Amino acid sequence: MTESVVPGLRTAERLIADLRAEIARADNKAAVLVAGLGVTVGALTGALSATEWRPWRLSVAAGVAWWFGCVAWGAALGLLLLAVVPRYERGPWSVERGLTYFRDIQCAVVCGQLEAALHRTERDPLPGLLSLLDELSVIAMTKHRCVRWGLGCFAVGAVAFPVMLLIE
C-alpha cells in the first residue's frame, strides 16, 4: 500500500520519530543528573573526610537531616539510573503486528517467520506502527517520570545537607 492509501501512516512515522528523540533527551537528562550527583557526592565526601567529622556525632535533629539527605540522594540515583535502563514492554510478538524494531526481528527469526513478517509489514505497516507508538509513549512517560522524581530527590538532598550544617 502506498502512503496515500494508508491514512495516518505519515503522522505515525512522525510521532515515532518525535518519541524516539524525546526518549533520547530523557536519557541525556538522566545521564547529566547522574554525573552531577556523582560530583556533588564526591565533593561532599571529600570535604567531610578531610576533617574529623562523623555522622554519629551529630545531634538528633542534624542526624535526621543527614540521613534524610542520604536517603534522598540514594533514591535520586536509583530513579535516574532507572530512567536510562532500556525498556521492552511489548507483549508477545505476532506476524500480524509486523516488524517495527530489533526485538520484533529477533522474535520473527526465532519463530521462523521473518520473511512472512517482512511481507506483512511491507503490505500494511500501520498496525506495527500503532503498536510501536503505544510502546514508545509509555517508555517516554516512564523515563520522564523517573527523571522528574530523581531531580526532586536530588533537590531534597541538596537542601537537607546545608540544613544539617545549620542545625549542627
Per-residue cell: 81? 539510573
* Residue 77, SS3 per DSSP: helix
Distance CA 96, CA 17 (A): 22
Res 2: pLDDT: 47
All three cell numbers of 31: 545521564
What is the model's pTM? 0.82
pLDDT of residue 5: 67
Per-residue pLDDT tens digits for 90-145:
677 888 888 888 888 888 999 999 999 999 999 999 988 998 899 899 999 999 99
Tell which wins on pLDDT, 55 or 112: 112
Q: How confident is the model at residue 1 (pLDDT cuts 50, 70, 90)?
A: very low
Helix, strand, or coil (residue 130): helix
Q: What is the DSSP letter of 58?
A: S
Q: 9-31: per-residue pLDDT in tens? A: 899 999 999 999 999 999 999 99
pLDDT of 69-86, one tens digit each?
Answer: 999 999 999 999 999 988
Alpha-helical segments (H) within the chain: 9-49, 60-84, 102-111, 114-123, 126-167
Task: State how far the Cα of 141 lies from the Cα of 16, in Å rounded to an integer.
Answer: 14
Q: How confident is the model at residue 46 (pLDDT cuts 50, 70, 90)?
A: confident
Cα–Cα distance between 6 and 149 in angstroms, integer? 40
pLDDT in tens, 123-138: 999 988 998 899 899 9
Mean pLDDT of the chain: 89
- Between these two residues, 116 and 56, which has the higher pLDDT value? 116
Q: Which of 19, 1, 7 is nearest to 139 (CA)?
A: 19
Residue type, 132: L
